[in-house]
């Protein structure tokens, strides 16, 4: 399975953040140029493109130990569970591990309006 990404974009016009869900690696560059901003309604044209703030792979597994409260999403985290865990392939609504945030990048799912890609 190839990774599906959530692109965190920043509008070229108003600088506000928004998300584009469900983009493959090949579509990321295209996504910067084809989505109307949900804040100011600006459509990229000519040389203007939304800027890419960061990417988050949405179908990488998130794991939570049976007795733990935090979801982990980096296998390099000291808390990454190797047995007795729950695993999901979408971003959890609950708290995520701060060590994983430090390793992989701050996880801010849901903090900005999202557009679902249909490229």
Dist. CA 24–CA 76, nearest whole Å: 24
Instruction: Show the tokens assigned to 84.
Output: 């007795």
Burial of 32 (0-12, 13-18, 19+ CB in 10 A): buried
Among 99, 105, 109, 114, binds Zn ion (CB under 5 A): 99
Total of chain residues touching Zn ion, rule CB under 5 A: 13
Residue 56 near residue 8, CB atoms below 8 Å: yes
Contacting Zn ion (CB under 5 A), which of 9, 32, 72, 104? 72
Say whether residue 11 binds Zn ion (CB under 5 A): yes
Query: Per-residue x/- mask for Zn ion, residues 18 to 57, rule CB under 5 A?
Result: -------------------x-xx-x---------------
Strand intervals (E) in the chain: 4-10, 17-24, 51-57, 62-65, 85-88, 114-116
User: Residue 78 CB, nearest distance to Zn ion (Å)?
Assistant: 7
Interface residues with Zn ion (CB under 5 A) are 11, 13-14, 37, 39-40, 42, 72, 77, 79, 97, 99-100
């Amino acid at each position: 399975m190839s990774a599906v990404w959530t692109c965190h974009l920043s509008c070229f016009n108003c600088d506000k953040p928004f998300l584009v869900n469900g983009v493959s690696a090949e579509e990321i560059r295209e996504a910067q140029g084809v989505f109307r901003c949900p804040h100011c309604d600006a459509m990229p044209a000519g040389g203007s493109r939304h800027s890419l703030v960061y990417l988050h792979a949405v179908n990488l597994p998130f794991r939570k130990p049976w007795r733990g409260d935090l979801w982990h999403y980096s296998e390099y985290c000291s808390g990454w569970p190797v047995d007795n865990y729950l695993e999901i392939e979408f971003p959890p609504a609950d708290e995520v591990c701060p060590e994983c945030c430090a390793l992989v990048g701050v996880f801010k799912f849901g903090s900005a309006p999202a557009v679902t890609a249909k490229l």
